[in-house]
Amino acid sequence: MESIRRNDIGKNVRIFVVVTVISFGFMFVIYGTYVSSFKMLSERFGYSNSTKFSVNGLEHLEMERKAQFPGHAKTPKMKVPAVWTYAPSEMRESGGACEEMDKIVVNADFVKSFIRNIPIFIHNPRRDYISSQINSNHDHEPHIFNIISSFLAKDRDMNLIDIGANIGVISLKAAMFGRKVISVEAAVSNVQHICASANINRVTKRITVIHNAISDNHTSVTFVMGKDGEFGGSFMDDGNFRDYKTRKSGVKFDTQNLVTIKTIILDDLLLLPNINDFKSVFIKMDIEGSEHKALLGAKKLFRMINVRGVLMEWRWHVERPESKSIILEFMEENGFEPYALAKLAKKKLDGKTMRDSDVLWLPKSL
């Protein structure tokens, strides 16, 4: 009996050991799969244990970015979109602002966030309004792209011209939608953010960046930046417009932080080698009160390209009779009429009395 009991105990011990080993092995397999999956998702969407999305206690990811984009000589250069600037009489491709992005992106002003599930590089949310909106809400003015995408969805050959691209929210969404984009942006730091975001989303082939300001002639203009480096509200310093904008917006602008930028006219876009990809376009125009000057230099563009719609910021023209008159006359001559944006309703507006913040211009033939 004693020997039988010992055999039973030994048998039970062996069974326990085998079951324990199998259980631990199974747990290690599950853990390995979890770690592998998490690493894959982290690399795809940019998550990490150190990522902070709260403005309170925001920690810049400089150490993490330095690990991802070390600045030593052996590091391959980041792939970036083609960046063009206007030189006398022609558009020239010049890496310029985006040439050593592997070194630039480790700067503390490059904070990784998300537009929904799309990774994007924003400015320091404490200093920039649009960046703070993205950091808090993971989007910025989603209704704008909802309208644009409704037009793009109707025509597979329609692409986007984004005038006043800022850090590239609309440009990036359109590129991820599968469309080609011309992004026009004056501020060098915004251009660099567009390049970095295009790289991380692998859409550098779909975005062409124009690093110039838009006006009605070729010159150099002074740009006024928001106080503390605010990028979203920067604008061309044009006569009394600085005082008007300060009064209307309540934003304080930094008169010491003035930047000189060369201008192009919209007709210059016709000189781009890939302009044939933009035979049918939707135009988004948000250049802080200079929309009328942009249109004065766009007569050929509207004749030679099928412009299917223009979504324009309007609030800076409501009380400026001269700029309002220029826009209304240009759009009327080119066969466009204004509509409200609210809920995508096709509500026609009276151009002379409309006070909407944004206006959708559509061809009368639609």
- CATH code for the domain in which residue 121 is found: 3.40.50.150
Establish if 14 belongs to a structural domain.
Answer: no
Which of left, alpha, beta for 257 (phi over 0: left; psi -120 to 50: alpha)? beta
Please tell me the predicted confidence (pLDDT) of residue 236. Answer: 55
Please tell me the predicted confidence (pLDDT) of residue 221. Answer: 83
Please tell me the predicted confidence (pLDDT) of residue 169. Answer: 98
CB-based contacts of 167, cutoff 8 Å, min separation 6? 120, 121, 122, 123, 130, 131, 190, 193, 194, 197, 231
Q: Which of 148, 200, 159, 214 has its CA nearest to residue 182?
A: 159
* Distance between CA atoms of residues 134 and 119, nearest Å: 11
Please tell me the predicted confidence (pLDDT) of residue 366. Answer: 66
Largest CA distance in the chain: 110
Which of left, alpha, beta for 92 (phi over 0: left; psi -120 to 50: alpha)? beta
Establish if 322 belongs to a structural domain.
Answer: yes
Indicate whether this model's pTM tops 0.85: no
* Distance between CA atoms of residues 166 and 108, nearest Å: 18
Establish if 293 belongs to a structural domain.
Answer: yes
CB-based contacts of 159, cutoff 8 Å, min separation 6? 174, 179, 180, 181, 182, 277, 278, 280, 281, 282
Establish if 244 belongs to a structural domain.
Answer: yes
Q: Which two tokens stand for residue 221?
A: 């203009």
* Distance between CA atoms of residues 333 and 274, nearest Å: 27
Q: Which two tokens stand for residue 333?
A: 């001559």
Give the containing element (helix H, strand E) for 225: strand 220-226
Please tell me the predicted confidence (pLDDT) of residue 29. Answer: 47
Q: Which of 184, 181, 185 has its CA nearest to residue 207?
A: 181
Establish if 248 belongs to a structural domain.
Answer: yes
Please tell me the predicted confidence (pLDDT) of residue 43. Answer: 42
Q: Which two tokens stand for residue 1?
A: 């009996």
Per-10-residue mean pLDDT of the chain, 366 residues long, equals 51 57 55 45 38 38 45 57 85 85 87 95 91 95 94 97 97 98 94 96 97 92 64 55 52 65 94 97 92 95 97 81 89 94 65 77 86
Residue 361's Cβ-count burial label (10 Å; 0-12, 13-18, 19+) is buried
In this structure, the number of other CB atoms found within 10 A of the CB of residue 7 comes to 10
Establish if 214 belongs to a structural domain.
Answer: yes
Establish if 68 belongs to a structural domain.
Answer: no
> What is the residue range of 261's domain?
73-363
Please tell me the predicted confidence (pLDDT) of residue 44. Answer: 40
Establish if 58 belongs to a structural domain.
Answer: no
Q: How many domains does the chain fold into?
A: 1
